A and B are shown apart, each in its own frame.
Chain A
Amino acid sequence: MLGEFLHILAAAAVSWILFVAVDILFKLPEAGGVSGASAIARDIQAGGGALSGGTMMGNIVCSPDASAGTLLAACGVYVAGIPGGLLAAALVFIGNRICHDPGYAGTTGAVLATFVVYAFTLVGFAATDFIAGMVIAILTIQGLSHTHASRLLARLWRFRQ
Chain B
Amino acid sequence: MIALYVVAVIAVFGVVRATLERNTGRKLPFVNVMNFAVAGALVLLLDHPLALVAAVAYFVGSTLEANAIASTYAGGDRRG
Instruction: Say whether B52 contacts A88, CB under 8 Å.
Output: yes
CA distance A8 to B76 in the complex (A): 40
Q: Complex formed: what's the CA distance from A67 to B55 in Å?
A: 14
| A71 CA / B35 CA spacing, docked (Å) | 11
Question: Which A54-73 residues have C-beta < 8 A from chain B?
Answer: 57-58, 60-64, 67-68, 71-72
**Most chain A beta carbons < 10 A, residue from B17, B30, B44, B56:** B56
Complex Cα spacing A87 to B36, Å: 18
B53 at interface, CB cutoff 8 A: yes
Q: Give the interface centre of A36, A63, A80, A94 by most chain B CB atoms within 10 Å.
A: A36
Instruction: With CB as the reference atom, state the residue of chain B lying closest to A35.
Output: B74
Q: Tell me, in angstroms, the Cα distance from A44 to B28 when the chains sit together.
A: 11
| Chain B nearest CB, measured from A44 CB (Å) | 6
Min CB gap A97→B, angstroms:
10
Cβ contact within 8 Å between B63 and A143: no
Give the total of B residues in contact with A, Cβ under 8 Å.
Answer: 48
Q: Which residue of B lies closest to A90 (CB)?
A: B56
Q: Pick from B3, B17, B39, B74: contact of A143, CB below 8 A.
A: B17
CB distance from B57 to the nearest CB of A (A): 8
Q: In the assembled complex, which residues on chain B have CB atoms less than 8 Å from the CB atom of A126? A: 3
CA distance A47 to B24 in the complex (A): 12
B53 CB contact (under 8 Å) in A58, A91, A131: A91
A-B residue pairs in contact (CB < 8 Å), sample of 9: A5-B2, A43-B25, A76-B52, A91-B56, A98-B64, A128-B3, A131-B40, A131-B44, A132-B2
List of 7 A-B pairs having minimum Cβ-Cβ separation, nearest first: A36-B70, A43-B25, A39-B74, A95-B60, A132-B3, A36-B71, A142-B29
Known: A75-B40, A99-B60. 16 other contacts (CB 8 A): A8-B2, A39-B25, A39-B71, A40-B29, A43-B25, A57-B29, A63-B63, A68-B63, A84-B52, A134-B36, A135-B10, A135-B40, A138-B33, A141-B29, A142-B33, A143-B33
Spell out A's residues near B (CB within 8 Å). 1, 4-5, 8, 34-40, 42-44, 46-47, 57-58, 60-64, 67-68, 71-72, 75-76, 78-80, 84, 87-88, 91-92, 94-95, 98-100, 126, 128-129, 131-132, 134-136, 138-139, 141-143, 146
